[in-house]
Structure 1
Amino acid sequence: MMNEVAKFALAVQFLTRLPIPAQIKFTPERMAGSVAYYPLVGLVVGALSAAVFWVAALVLPLLVSVILAVTAGFLLTGGFHEDGLADTFDGIGGGLTRERALEIMKDSRIGTYGTLALVSIVALKVAALSGLSQASPLLVLGLLPAAHGLSRFSSVMVIATSRYVRDEGTGKPVARGSSARALAIAGITTAAILAGLVWAGPPMLTLYGVIGLVAGHVLMRAFFEGKLKGYTGDTLGAVQQLSEIGFYLGVLAWL
């Protein structure tokens, strides 16, 4: 049990800026196994963002509350996934070859493609959540944790079904994290999130959200895998971002 707690703590440390106990011991095996808890970490991030939305909505307009909730997500993760999205678009958009694309993605500077992608995804996220909040503020409270959790599982599926293409990098420590046990734990968490959505609201809401999420997953992978022949840590962040926004847009289409 303590080993699993340590894996969860390492997942929190890797994906967020939340503090964890200093005595948690790092091992390569634990770091790889931390993939199992990505959806659970996403659930925590989404729940904290939802809490910010709820408190803000008590005294502020819904649009402002949505912006504060999205900003809280940035602060909780340090923009980790958004940075991956920007790097992915810079690399794929600016690199004529696989090698050049990977080289550009290692550059810490952001280019035109990355800037446009980042602005677009943030604008879409705010607009979608604003539309959902107009329909029902309570809906946003439930969808934020669900979208964050499910979109992290989307990244886990990339790890499980593709290959890491770098010798080193942020995704290297977790590239071996697709064991049957890790996938089972991540899958159980994901199933629990879906069950909660079906229990709390109309099943069609969940169906449309999942369709949107899957569409985001497939589109992003089609965007980078053809050139890279696999994935990097940056592309995992890109998949998470497009899967999350796909979920919101799917629910919005159902409404």
Structure 2
Amino acid sequence: MTPRADFLNNVVADLRIAASFVTIVPVGSSKPADNGAIARATWALPVAGLLVGLAGGASHALASRLGLAPGMAALLALATTALITGALHEDGLADTADGLGGGRTRERKLEIMRDSRIGSYGVCALILSFGLRWSALAAIGNPWAVMLAMCAAHAAARAGLPAFMSLVPPARRDGLAASAGSPPGRSVATAFAIGTLALALALGPAKALVGLVLLSLAGLILARLAIRQIGGQTGDILGAFEQIGEILILLVAAAFLQAGS
């Protein structure tokens, strides 16, 4: 096999690992995802996010074409992305809110986060997440602008995950965060570049910078909370990071891409 063919095979394998990591689509790589394979493949997370955003945007466009109101189209777009991801990130957000908000000790917080039951903090977090994202999409209104916003939000929200995983140690010795490993610098840089490009193309350079600043601040705050309260990050924390990033980018998009603005 030539070096070029081997490179392309590795790229495809990484894309399949990333897609199986953040969606329920059965596209897992035929190559074993061990020995740091998941960590190396994290560069492709924003690409997987881009595909999720495209699906959500297409659902919104179809609903709009059928004459549904912007609010209903926005709700269907969110339902589509939740279906494709298996509500994985929403589950992480809810567990994070319950754990960080409800436990008194590190051990109790981690125990709560592993509990499949949802508490009041988790319910409130989900209501805020869906409410803010729905409001942003409904405010944008225009199907093409919604498509751009969703692609940018889903790509950029996942683009920061490799850096977060690299900088914040796992809180447990087992679990998703520990088994995935720490992404190498090349994967971190590539994911960041893809996410930044998606933001710039969708929102323009100046607005993309606003989004990047907000994402960075949110990541720093969440990292500080996670380290202080449970000693690091978990799969649930990563899901919460994605949800917060998605919300922030959609709100930025709503501020600049509203129909008629």
TM-score normalised per structure 1: 0.90
Q: Tell me what 2:175 maps to.
A: 169
Q: Matches of 1:8 and 1:16 in 2, distance apart?
A: 12
Q: Matches of 1:22 and 1:170 in 2, distance apart?
A: 18
Q: Does 1:90 align with 2:98?
A: yes
Runs of 4+ in structure 1 over 4 Å off = none
Contact 2:53-2:150 within 8 A present in 1 as well:
yes
Counterparts in 2 of 1:1-255, with a 5 A limit?
1=7, 2-20=9-27, 23-59=30-66, 60-133=68-141, 136-176=142-182, 178-197=183-202, 202-254=204-256
Match of 1:192, SS?
helix
The residue type equivalent to 1:142 in the other structure is L
TM-score normalised per structure 2: 0.88
Unpaired stretches in structure 1, ≥5 consecutive residues: none
Match of 1:28, SS?
coil
The residue type equivalent to 1:238 in the other structure is A
CA positional deviation for 1:254: 4.6
Q: Matches of 1:96 and 1:143 in 2, distance apart?
A: 38
Q: Matches of 1:249 and 1:111 in 2, distance apart?
A: 26
The residue type equivalent to 1:140 in the other structure is V
Contact 1:6-1:30 within 8 A present in 2 as well:
no
Unpaired stretches in structure 2, ≥5 consecutive residues: 1-6
CA positional deviation for 1:24: 4.1
Deviations 1:109-168 (A, max 9, x none): 1111111111111111101111122xx332111010111000001222211211111111
Of stretches 162-171 and 245-254 in structure 1, the one that deviates more from structure 2 is 245-254
Q: Matches of 2:214 and 2:140 in 1, distance apart?
A: 15
Contact 2:49-2:154 within 8 A present in 1 as well:
yes
CA positional deviation for 1:171: 1.9
CA positional deviation for 1:21: 5.9
Match of 1:68, SS?
helix
Contact 1:85-1:114 within 8 A present in 2 as well:
yes
Q: Matches of 2:172 and 2:90 in 1, distance apart?
A: 20
The residue type equivalent to 1:63 in the other structure is G
Q: Matches of 1:39 and 1:223 in 2, distance apart?
A: 24
Number of aligned residues: 249
CA positional deviation for 1:10: 1.2
